[in-house]
Amino acid sequence: MPKSSSQVPILELRGVSKRFGAVQALSNVNFEVYAGEVVGLVGDNGAGKSTLIKCVAGIHPIDDGEIWFEGRRVHIQNPIDATNLGIQTVYQDLALCDNLDVVGNLYLGREQTNRLPLDEVTMEKRSLEVLHNLSVSIPSVRTIIASLSGGQRQSVAISRAVMWNSKLVILDEPTAALGVLQSKQVLKLIRNLREQGLAVIVISHNLVDIFEAVDRISILYLGRNNGVFNVHGTSQEQIVAAITGAEFGNNNQETAQSRQRKGGSSR
């Protein structure tokens, strides 16, 4: 597995702070994710999850702290910086064009041409390969997005995020709008991403889904770290306690602790 081979995290945040006027949205937050690993980012409303991913995605530049990517210190000032590093974010609204087909959406803004006309054959072929590699099942890549189910749309959005040499994929509430079966479909896709050696950050409120899909859970509470847990050997009650602030994690030894936990979890 790529997971054990890489000792350096794909993404590492060290002491990141972000402030909006009088609100300290993030203070001194540490976070890390390795290749071939799925990390759940969990916290109550207003805990700073969205702010954290927006900092990584380049929408909000950080005020303080360091972002390290593949062992190099980087400065992410805008979304293009993030994209160039290989960071892709799938927001809840998915940003798909309902009136275009699956191929059109996968290649949106990156269309391939045969001189002047669109090269539909090449794009369709590659789309089929990508979806096949990720085991995404869709009736036809020529179906328009409007006729797909919620889970299939989510799968298309995720496939688009990973098909352009991405290294880190951030998923914002990927299962929030989905029914049980569709959620399973998306969670399976997330596990496939891990198999392919990608680093994945999942934001979710649904602890059942989190426990099913992720390796580690990083908890935010009022803009601060509140513990990192390995899903194996942790109960949902412990997580709930950390989310609500009933149980305080070990803030100071955050990084060391998570590394140790990760080491214990590698199979």
Partner 1 sequence: MSTMANDPRLVSEESGSLLQRWWQRFRQADLGSLPIIVGLVVIWLVFQRANDKFLSPLNLTNLMAQISALGTIAVGAVLVLLLGEVDLSAGAVSGLCAAIMAVLNVRYGVPGPIAVLVGLLAGLAVGFFQGFWVTRFKIPSFIITLAGQIAWVGALLAVLGETGTVNLRDNFIVALAGTFLKRDVHNGELYSWIVGILFIAIFAASFIWERQRRRSAGLQFTSIGGLIFQIAIVAVLVIGMLLITNADRGLPSAMVLFIVVLVLFDFITKRTIFGRHIYAVGGNVEAARRASINVNFVRIAVFGLASALAAFGGILAASRLLAVNQGAGANDLLLNVIASAVIGGTSLFGGRGSVWSALLGALVIGSISNGMDLLALPSPIKFMITGGVLLAAVTIEAVSRQRRETAGR
Among 75, 125, 132, 232, binds partner 1 (CB under 8 A): 125
CA dist., res. 124 & res. 34, Å (int) = 32
Q: Scanning residues 178 to 207, which ones bind partner 1 (CB under 8 A)? A: 179, 181-182, 185
97 is an interface residue for partner 1 by CB under 8 A: yes
Q: How far apart are CA 167 and CA 187, in angstroms?
A: 18
Q: What is the CA radius of gyration of the chain?
A: 19
Which residues are within 8 A (CB) of 84 and not within 5 positions of it... i.e. 6 or more apart? none
Q: Which of 90, 217 has the CB closer to partner 1?
A: 90
Only one of the segments 8-16, 46-54, 113-121, 240-248 lies at the binding site for partner 1 (rule: CB under 8 A); that segment is 113-121
Q: How many residues bind partner 1 (CB under 8 A)?
A: 40
Query: Given the complex with partner 1, which of 22 and 181 has the nearer CB atom?
Result: 181
Is there binding between residue 132 and partner 1 (CB under 8 A)? no
Closest CB 188 distance from partner 1, rounded Å: 11
Amino acid at 143: T
Look at residues 68, 77, 8 and name the one whose alpha carbon lies nearest to residue 259.
Answer: 8
| Of residues 188, 154, 195, 150, the one with CA closest to residue 171 | 154
Query: At closest approach, how far in Å is the CB of 248 from partner 1?
Result: 38
Mask of contacts with partner 1, 50-89, x by CB under 8 A?
----------------------------------------
Q: Phi then psi for 127, rounded to 5 degrees?
A: -60, -45
In Å, what is the CA distance from 95 to each residue of 92, 98, 187?
8, 9, 20
Q: State yes or no: residue 148 binds partner 1 (CB under 8 A).
A: yes
What is residue 254's three-state secondary structure?
helix
Query: Which residue lies nearer to partner 1 by CB, 148 or 243?
Result: 148
Reported as half-sphere exposure (CB side, CA atoms, 13 A), residue 193 has a value of 34
User: Applying CB under 8 A, does 150 fall inside the site for partner 1?
Assistant: yes
Place of tokens 């950080």: 62
| List of residues contacting partner 1 (CB under 8 A) | 93-100, 104, 108-111, 113, 116-118, 121-122, 124-125, 128, 137-140, 142-144, 146-152, 179, 181-182, 185
